[in-house]
Amino acid sequence: MASTQTSFTTEDFEIANAPKPVVLRLFRPAGDGVFPVVVNLHGGAWTKGDFTECRPRDEAIAHAGIASAALDFRHGADGYPTSLIDINFAIRWVRANAQRLNLDPARIGIAGQSSGGHLAMLAAMRPEEPRYRERSAGDDNATVACVAMTWPVINPLSRYRHALRLRNSDNPPGWTADIPERHDTYWATEMNMSEGNPLLALERGEAVRTPPALWIQGTPDPIHDYRDPESAIEGNEPERFAARYREAGGTLELVYIEQEDRATNSLAPLTDFLRAQLKP
């Protein structure tokens, strides 16, 4: 299915159909390519949402002259690591089909919001992870040139415990009502929350890839910007991750914006970063 907008076209591809369909919606800039492309991941605490939630970012990215591939992937009760299997496959599928789609296989990035930001970073850090590569895609290369995150849940374990602490307090905030259960649905155990964890992977000294990265963080945002009491770093989780990522040899730009207008005001720094990283 394809449709045409003023400055971009959209087309849906069912890139896998078992055990569940995996659908990619490609937003391609109008005009002659070859275009760089960003695999774009929705949020939803790993348990809800779909690729339609990526549309504001998809459109902004397409207007910036970059194709955006919004992805529907397994989540919820399908459990970890099914999302990573689908995402790793999608990166390789895009690369394998780049020529016929008028895309540049050498300029592929990844982006995600909230839990999608976590998945984007984990996929970027572990492109060769055997557990994430059970599907064949016609290309073995799942590396990405850059990763852009908007308010990611970078540490699922600390966010789980953070939500439980607040929910058990005298004045629990409303957002904690079902967050621990949503973590439980996808992750099943704290061991999985620790293993599939970009921040703790760095602190464990794992050999991971560290492509250029962007973290856009709304403020104040107690759901994503909080301090883990078990952290050896005084700052909140964004500062902690940025420090560890840089220590591992990566570059990471941490941008703070007003929480109230974050959905709109995150688009310019996002597209500026992607243009800089994916230019010819």
Using DSSP's 3-state secondary structure scheme, residue 135 falls into: coil
Q: Where are the beta strands (DSSP E) in 89-193?
A: 103-113, 147-150
Both tokens assigned to 12? 């849906």
The dihedral built from the CA positions of residue 195, 199, 118 and 121, taken in this order, carries a sign that is negative
How far is CA 204 from each of CA 120, 184, 194, 200, 209, rounded to the nearest angstrom? 19, 23, 10, 6, 14
The pLDDT value recorded for residue 267 is: 98
Question: What's the pTM value of the predicted model, to 2 decimals?
Answer: 0.96
pLDDT-based confidence at residue 1 (cuts at 50, 70, 90): very low
Contact 103, 36 (CB under 8 A): yes
Mean per-residue pLDDT of the chain = 96
Alpha-carbon distance 241 to 250, whole Å? 11
The pLDDT value recorded for residue 33 is: 81
Domain 2-278 carries which CATH code? 3.40.50.1820
Domain definitions of the chain by residue range: 2-278
**135-151: b (≥16 Cβ within 10 Å) or e:** bebebeebebbbbbbbb
